[in-house]
Amino acid sequence: MNVMRGSLEGSAGLCLAILLAVLLMGAPPVSPAAVQSAHAADTPAPDGPAGAPDTPRADTYTLPDIPPGAIPGPKLQSLLGRELKTRDEDPGRIIDILCDSEGRVRAAVVELGGFLGIGMRRIAVHWSVLTFDTADPKRPRLILELARDDLRSAPEYKPGEPVEVLVGRPD
């Protein structure tokens, strides 16, 4: 425990020393106050543990307050193949998720209707018209907030072609 803390402090001290060196040598127009504060931050580090963890480190990235490698799990759910109901309670299913060139999720491809695999429709719907209803946590429902007539006239989704995404109607 002590060893670990020591090494942490050591590396923190090293960081600060490098920061200081950069500030002193690499940047000529440095105000005396800035140099001063860097010195002040540097001084307690070799002596004791007190100041080191609280020292702001502008050049390093710190993870948010979660254990590394794990994202809180129970709230996340799988979507591929997930059943949904339209506003008129017609059943459907999510078969793909579409994102833009920056990786933001934009739309879901849903498959609606059909009998024995014949007469199904595939439609791309905007992410915002999907409602996740968790009123009953054991059976979370996924609702597609679109009316039957809107879905009926929607253009068919075809992979490899420009996607027309169906968005809700203001009501």
Partner 1 sequence: MRARKAGTARLASAPSARSRRGLDWFTFFVANLQTGFGPFLSVYLTTQRWTQVDIGLILSVGSVAGLIGQVPGGFLVDWVRSKRRAAALAVVGIGSSALLIAALPMFAGILGAKLLQVASSAVLGPAIAAITLGLVGHRGISERLGRNARFAAIGNGIAAAVMGACGYFVSAQAVFWVTALLTFPTLLALAHISEAEVDPIRAGGGNARGGPDRDGSIARLLRKPALLVLMGSVMLFHVANAAMLPLVGSAMAMRSGQWATALVAACIVVPQVIVAAISPRVGLLAQSLGRRPVLLAAFAALIVRGLLLAWSSDPAMIVAVQMLDGISAAAIGIIVPLVLADITRGTGRFNLAQGIVGTGAGVGATLSTTAAGWLADRYGMGTAFLGLAALAACGFLVVLAALQETRPK
Please report how close the Cβ of residue 164 comes to partner 1 at its closest, in angstroms.
14
Residues that bind partner 1 (CB under 8 A): 78, 80-81, 83, 88, 91, 93, 95-96, 111-121, 148-149, 152-153, 156, 158-159
Opening angle at CA 117, ends 112 and 118, nearest 5: 85
Tokens of 163: 């996607």
Of 47, 49, 64, 67, nearest to 5 (Cα)?
Answer: 49
Q: Are 130 and 143 in contact (CB under 8 A)?
A: yes
Q: Contact, 164 vs 155, CB < 8 A?
A: yes
Residue (8 or 97) nearer to partner 1, CB: 97
CB of 4 to partner 1, least distance (A): 43
Q: Are strands 83-86 and 130-133 parallel, antiparallel or unpaired?
A: unpaired
Judged by beta carbon, residue 74 or residue 117, the one nearer partner 1 is 117
- Give the residue with the Cβ less far from partner 1, 12 or 147: 147
CB of 126 to partner 1, least distance (A): 20
Instruction: Pick the closer one to partner 1 by CB: 57 or 158.
Output: 158
Smallest separation, CB 168 to partner 1 (Å): 18
> What token pair was written down for 38?
């860097």
Q: Looking at beta carbons only, is 42 or 96 nearer to partner 1?
A: 96
Shortest Å distance, C-beta 86 to partner 1:
10
Distance between CA atoms of residues 74 and 26, nearest Å:
49
Any idea what DSSP says for residue 128?
A: G
Distance CA 102, CA 165 (A): 17
